Amino acid sequence: MTFSYYDNLSAAQKRIYRKSDAIKGIPLENSSVIQPVVIKLKKSLEDNKRRDVARHSTEICRLVCEGLGTEPLIVKISSKRPSNSTRELHGLYEWEDGETAVLTVWMKTAAKKQVVAFRSFLRTILHELCHHLDYAYFNLDDSFHTEGFFRRESSLYKQIVPAELQQREPRKKKAPARKIIKQKSKKSDQMELF
C-alpha cells in the first residue's frame, strides 16, 4: 500500500519510496543497554527537567547509532513547540551533505505549554531518528513517510522501551466541575460542624 502522495513522485523517487517501504524493522543488538536510559528519560520528562531530558535523549540516539555502527547526530531539546494557527511542530530532522545531522524535538505544547506525554515525546525522537537512519544506515537517497518507515519507528520503540512502560496508562477522567451552592442562611462556622 502506498500513501496518496506517491502518485506525485518522480520515477526515481518512487524507487526510493518502494525500497523504504520494504524495510520493516531495525535490528538492535544493544536494546538492553538503552532501556535504563529510557526509564530515566521518562522521569526527567515528568519532572520537567529540560537539561536531563536533553541528556537522556542524546544518550538514546547515541546508543542506537553506535549499536548500528552509524554516524552520530546532534540532539537538541527545546522548550515550547513552534506553531501557526493550525499546527504545532513536534520534531525536526536537518541534514546537509558534509555536516552533522541535527534532530530537534520540543518538550512542551504550544497552546498550553504543558510537558508532552512520554510516549508521544519518545515516539517523536524515534521518528526523527528514523529519518537519520534512512540516510546513514539504510543509505536511502531520501527519507519518505512510508508504511515501512512507520514500522521501523515502531520496531525501535518496542525494542528500547521496557515492557512495563509500553502498556498504555488509562486516561485520567476529569473531575466534574464543582457546583458552588450559595447558602441562604448565614450560620457561624462553628454551627456548620454540627
Whether 123 is covered by a domain: the verdict is yes
Let me know if residue 135 belongs to a domain.
yes
Name the band, by pLDDT with cuts 50, 70 and 90, for residue 194: very low
Residue 118, all three cell numbers:
512520554
The domain tally of the chain equals 1
pLDDT tens per residue across span 149-171: 999 999 999 999 998 888 766 55
pLDDT at position 191 is 38
Residue 133 lies in a domain: yes
Residue 15, domain member (yes or no): no
For residue 122, being part of any structural domain is answered with: yes
Question: Does some domain include residue 4?
Answer: no
Q: Is residue 99 within 8 Å of 132, Cβ to Cβ? A: no
Q: What is the CA 8 to chain-centroid distance, rounded?
A: 28
- Amino acid 168: pLDDT: 66
Which range marks the domain in which residue 84 is found?
A: 29-163
For the segment 101-141, what is each residue's pLDDT rounded down to a tens digit?
Answer: 999 999 998 888 899 999 999 999 999 999 999 999 999 99
Assess if residue 113 is contained within a domain: yes
How high does pLDDT run on average in the chain? 87
* Entry pTM: 0.83
Eight-class DSSP state of 148: H
Q: What is the pLDDT of residue 137?
A: 97
Q: Is residue 98 part of a domain?
A: yes
